[in-house]
A and B are shown apart, each in its own frame.
Chain A
């Protein structure tokens, strides 16, 4: 991998995780960074607050780019559990597959996964946009509160269980909907949002009108005995 001319390199074969993260977290850090030999290390490029561009050249372990703010992180490989968890802003792009809880509780920013995502993708998400080119596992968007989850492939069981106000778009099949999640009409506003998201995710070969839209039936918003079987 040869980066742009001003790219700064970081080799985890010879430096520690602490050195990596503290360098990237340092006030005023800027420009492009390339991390070599990540070797599936956990907590890579976490807690970034500077608008830096970081490329992780290989596989990442748990919580890659966790709690990201403003940085743009690309993972040239697979990502472990909780990639971009609690992201606030910026972007994270996984070129391979992501394990479970991708984008968990993310408040903002953009997470793009080129491959598949495991279980609980977008769990408790709070405003981020998550775009998965492949499929997502079971319980994705569980208790998801706001933001958008776009799945170009299929969704596993219990999609959107106990959903609040996140919009879910799925192009392929949905194995099953979770409690209080229902298919909604695709409104012109939804189509516009989805078109924008696909474009943001760099997806040009798939059209917005190929998706179905899912959302909260809002039946669990207040406790009611007649919904007891759903609790």
Chain B
């Protein structure tokens, strides 16, 4: 008798593909608690992504640039359409909006320090601008959100650009949420809320509805800020062709398109996993909208949601984006999901790489927390250095690819440099399937 022996009169025990382990845990959790599952982060499901694209590189018909010698520009100017003072960044990799509240003050400071060191921007979030954040960010984008928590015209005037948030990739059509554990005295004061309550933020702006109103709202903000600051409009990826067209129509200087891989501080799991588009599917229609309006490169496009490496940056830019934004990846660079924290994650029922209870405020890395003891664990100077390192690596990686494609600036990357590895990616991007000159839908089939 060996341990491998089995009873040949019976089949092996078989797990259901429909009711898999995770699904069973979801049903059991729902039955036990009676409330939907809330977590942080973006979608965890496997999706068509930048990994499904490849660059062709140069050879006989294209000349590459010398890897370490020939110039390959990385800078980007945002807000050239109407703003008197467009912002000029040294790298097209920016830091996405994340709130003080969702993140500790130390984490916000580290993001500001890191972004400033490499000449890029960082962004506020729901809850307003902290003096520390303004102080440590050479270029700061101020988010204008439906909740208007902490929204102050003085801060609006202190910002370098203003981002009107219509939606975000993790939850297009959804409002914010910050659970009581993270509504500390300071967070509560900034948001004019009672301490310790579960805060819900609105999903719609309180004083405008639709693109015609938004046009008037943008005019008001420009009038208040002397037409100086670039106005971004941020949307979650859902109907990108129409949403980007309408954002341009409303007068945006810059549009920000966030795919469903983009993170959130806290949202229902069902929302994160089942609403919105992966960023790969959204970029081409967005660029098409800009081109159809004759506004490509005039209204800049920033894409976000699952940007991890310089290859992702290069692919996003080759598809037509002007810049990208990172959120989750920046938190990982700060120490989120670190294997060093395995023992502490285990106490929270998680493992490095799976931790997503950002809403609980018990983050052992000191990032997604308002607990002063935990937050102290993150050294903002060291954290800033890590962010700067990571941003520099991404920029250099993107340059490596661009030079290999013979491009003297990241913005010279183009769809012609890319192919798709599978039918899904080819259909979504209208890039040819690798080794062919065809994509689904081309020539009628």
Looking at the complex, which of B66-74, B195-203, B348-356, B373-381 is the stretch in contact with chain A?
B195-203
The answer, among A47, A123, A127, A145, for a CB contact under 8 Å with B207, is A123
Cβ of B194 within 8 Å of any chain A Cβ, yes or no, is: yes
Cβ of B148 within 8 Å of any chain A Cβ, yes or no, is: yes
Once the chains bind, are A225 and B35 in contact (CB under 8 Å)?
Answer: yes
Cβ of B294 within 8 Å of any chain A Cβ, yes or no, is: no
Cβ of B372 within 8 Å of any chain A Cβ, yes or no, is: no
Cβ of A72 within 8 Å of any chain B Cβ, yes or no, is: no
Q: Which of A37-75 contact B (CB under 8 A)?
A: 42-43, 46-47, 49, 61-63, 66-67, 69
Once the chains bind, are A82 and B207 in contact (CB under 8 Å)?
Answer: yes
The answer, among B179, B206, B216, for a CB contact under 8 Å with A123, is B206
Cβ of A222 within 8 Å of any chain B Cβ, yes or no, is: yes
Cβ of B368 within 8 Å of any chain A Cβ, yes or no, is: no
B interface bracket (residues with beta carbon within 8 Å of A) = 20 to 34
Once the chains bind, are B206 and A104 in contact (CB under 8 Å)?
Answer: yes
- Determine the distance from Cα of A81 to Cα of B207 in the docked complex, in whole angstroms: 7
The answer, among A81, A127, A225, for a CB contact under 8 Å with B192, is A127
Interface centre among B151, B152, B223 (most CB of A within 10 A): B223
Interface of B is mostly: loop
The answer, among B148, B200, B220, B225, for a CB contact under 8 Å with A162, is B200
B173-192 vs A: 1/0 string, CB under 8 Å? Answer: 00000011000000000011
Q: A47-B223, A67-B153, A88-B152 are in contact. Are A101 and B207 (CB under 8 A)?
A: yes
- Provide the residues of chain A in CB contact with B220, threshold 8 Å: 42-43, 46, 62-63, 66
Q: A105-B148, A107-B192, A222-B198 are in contact. Are A69 and B206 (CB under 8 A)?
A: no
Q: Which of A122-166 contact B (CB under 8 A)?
A: 123-124, 126-127, 142-143, 145-146, 162, 164-165
Cβ of B213 within 8 Å of any chain A Cβ, yes or no, is: yes
User: Smallest CB-CB separation from B191: which chain A residue?
Assistant: A145
Tell me, rounded to whole Å, the shortest Cβ–Cβ distance linking A26 to chain B.
10
- Provide the residues of chain A in CB contact with B147, threshold 8 Å: 124
Cβ of B219 within 8 Å of any chain A Cβ, yes or no, is: yes
Once the chains bind, are A63 and B207 in contact (CB under 8 Å)?
Answer: yes
Cβ of B33 within 8 Å of any chain A Cβ, yes or no, is: yes
User: Smallest CB-CB separation from B201: which chain A residue?
Assistant: A143
The answer, among A18, A123, A164, A228, for a CB contact under 8 Å with B223, is A18
Tell me, rounded to whole Å, the shortest Cβ–Cβ distance linking A167 to chain B.
14
Interface centre among A142, A143, A162, A224 (most CB of B within 10 A): A143
B147-176 vs A: 1/0 string, CB under 8 Å? Answer: 110011110100000000000000000000
- Provide the residues of chain B in CB contact with A82, threshold 8 Å: 207-208
Cβ of B291 within 8 Å of any chain A Cβ, yes or no, is: no
Interface of A is mostly: loop
- Provide the residues of chain B in CB contact with A145, threshold 8 Å: 191-193
Once the chains bind, are A124 and B225 in contact (CB under 8 Å)?
Answer: no
Cβ of A195 within 8 Å of any chain B Cβ, yes or no, is: no
The answer, among B156, B194, B219, B225, for a CB contact under 8 Å with A164, is B194
Cβ of A93 within 8 Å of any chain B Cβ, yes or no, is: no
Once the chains bind, are A43 and B223 in contact (CB under 8 Å)?
Answer: yes
Q: A47-B225, A123-B207 are in contact. Are A143 and B202 (CB under 8 A)?
A: yes
Cβ of A22 within 8 Å of any chain B Cβ, yes or no, is: yes
The answer, among B197, B202, B217, for a CB contact under 8 Å with A63, is B217
Once the chains bind, are A223 and B35 in contact (CB under 8 Å)?
Answer: yes
- Determine the distance from Cα of A120 to Cα of B153 in the docked complex, in whole angstroms: 22
Once the chains bind, are A126 and B198 in contact (CB under 8 Å)?
Answer: no
- Determine the distance from Cα of A164 to Cα of B195 in the docked complex, in whole angstroms: 11
B107-148 vs A: 1/0 string, CB under 8 Å? Answer: 000000000000000000000000000000000000000011
- Provide the residues of chain A in CB contact with B208, threshold 8 Å: 62, 81-82
Once the chains bind, are B219 and A42 in contact (CB under 8 Å)?
Answer: yes
Question: What would be 19 A-B contacts, judged by CB atoms less than 8 Å apart?
Answer: A25-B224, A43-B219, A62-B208, A63-B207, A63-B217, A67-B153, A69-B154, A81-B207, A81-B213, A82-B207, A101-B206, A101-B207, A123-B207, A142-B206, A165-B194, A221-B180, A222-B180, A225-B35, A228-B34
Sorted nearest first, the 8 A-B pairs with minimum C-beta distance are A47-B224, A225-B34, A82-B207, A105-B148, A67-B153, A101-B207, A126-B192, A221-B197
Interface residues of B (CB under 8 A from A): 33-35, 147-148, 151-154, 156, 179-180, 191-194, 197-198, 200, 202, 206-208, 213, 216-217, 219-220, 223-227
Other A-B contacts than A67-B156, A88-B152, A225-B33, 8 sampled, CB-CB below 8 A, are A43-B219, A47-B225, A63-B207, A85-B206, A162-B200, A221-B197, A221-B198, A222-B180
